[in-house]
Amino acid sequence: MTQPPRSPRPSSPSRPTRAPKHSAPLWQLLQLTATVVQAVRAGRSLTSQIEAVPKDLRPGVQSLAFQVMRQWGRAIALREQLASKAPPPAADALLCTALALCWQDAAAPYPVHTLVNQAVEAARQQRTTQAQSGFINACLRRFMREREALVAQTDANPQAVWNHPLWWIERLQAEYPAQWQSLLQMAQLPPPMSLRVNPRHHSVAQYQAQLLALGMPAKAVGATGLQLDKAVPVHQLPGFAEGHVSVQDAAAQVAAPLLLQGREADKPWRILDACAAPGGKTGHLLACYPQARVLALDVDASRCQRIDQNLQRLGVQAEVRAADAAQPASWWDGESFDAILLDAPCTASGIVRRHPDVRWLRRPTDSEQLGQIQAQLLQALWPLLAPGGRLLYCTCSVFRSEGDETLQAFLQRNTNAQLLPSPGHLIPGHVPTGLPVMDNALGEHDGFYYALLEKDRA
> Mind listing the pLDDT tens digit for each residue in 232-263?
999 999 999 999 999 999 999 999 999 999 99
Q: Please indicate, yes or no, if residue 412 is contained in any of the structural domains.
A: yes
**427 confidence band (pLDDT: 50, 70, 90):** confident
Q: State the pairing for strand pair 448-455/385-395.
A: antiparallel
- Strand-pairing partners, residue 419, are 453
- Residue 450 to residue 335: CA distance in whole angstroms: 26
User: Do 226 and 361 belong together in one domain?
Assistant: no
Per-residue model confidence (pLDDT) at position 9: 42
Query: Which amino acid appears at position 361 of this protein?
Result: L
Q: Looking at 206, 229, 247, which one is the last position of a domain?
A: 247
Query: What's the pTM?
Result: 0.91
CATH of the domain at 229: 3.30.70.1170
Q: Is residue 184 part of a domain?
A: no
Q: Which domain holds residue 54?
A: 17-162
- Same domain assignment for residues 412 and 310: yes
Find the CATH number of the domain harbouring 48.
Answer: 1.10.940.10
Give tens-digit pLDDT for 44-98: 999 999 999 999 999 999 999 999 999 999 999 999 999 989 999 999 999 999 9
Region 212-226: mean pLDDT is 92
| Residue 185, in any domain of the structure | no
d(CA 80, CA 143): 12
**Average confidence (pLDDT) over 316-328:** 97
Confidence of residue 221 (pLDDT cuts 50, 70, 90): confident
Domain shared by 406 and 447, yes or no: yes
User: Do the domain assignments include residue 322?
Assistant: yes
Assess whether 98 and 75 both reside in one domain: yes
- Answer whether 400's CB lies under 8 Å from 349's CB: no
CATH code: domain of residue 294:
3.40.50.150
Whether residue 384 sits in one domain with residue 256: yes
- Residue 408 and residue 381: Cα distance in Å, rounded? 17
Asked whether residue 175 is assigned to any structural domain, the reply reads no
Task: For residue 156, give the 3-state DSSP assignment.
Answer: coil
Same domain, residue pair 66 and 51:
yes
Q: Between helices 58-70 and 26-41, what is the axis angle to 10°?
A: 50
Per-residue confidence (pLDDT) for residue 211, from 0 to 100: 98
Distance of CA 262 to the CA centre of its chain: 30
Residues 152 and 220 in one domain: no
The answer to whether residues 209 and 142 belong to one domain is no
Residue 223: what pLDDT?
82
Q: Across residues 414-426, what is the average pLDDT?
A: 94
**13 has a pLDDT exceeding 60:** no
- What's the chain's average pLDDT? 92
Q: Is the pLDDT at 23 greater than 90, yes or no?
A: no
Out of 145, 162, 179, pick the residue that ends a domain. Answer: 162
Is pLDDT at 336 greater than 70 in this prediction? Answer: yes
Average of per-residue pLDDT across 359-368: 97
- Select which of 96, 102, 394, 396 is catalytic: 396
Binned at pLDDT 50, 70 and 90, residue 445 comes out as confident
Whether the per-residue pLDDT at 431 is higher than 70: the answer is no
Share of the chain above pLDDT 70, in %: 92
**Domain for residue 182, yes or no?**
no
Are residues 320 and 229 both part of a single domain?
A: no
Tell me, yes or no, whether 236 and 262 share the same domain: no
**Based on the domain organization, do 306 and 442 belong to the same domain?**
yes
Question: Is 256 within a domain?
Answer: yes
Same domain, 242 and 256: no
Model pLDDT, residue 5:
40
pLDDT > 90 fraction of the chain, expressed in percent and rounded: 87
Can 139 be counted among the known catalytic residues?
no
Q: How many domains does the chain have?
A: 3
- Bond preceding residue 421 cis, omega within 30 of 0: no
236 belongs to a structural domain? yes
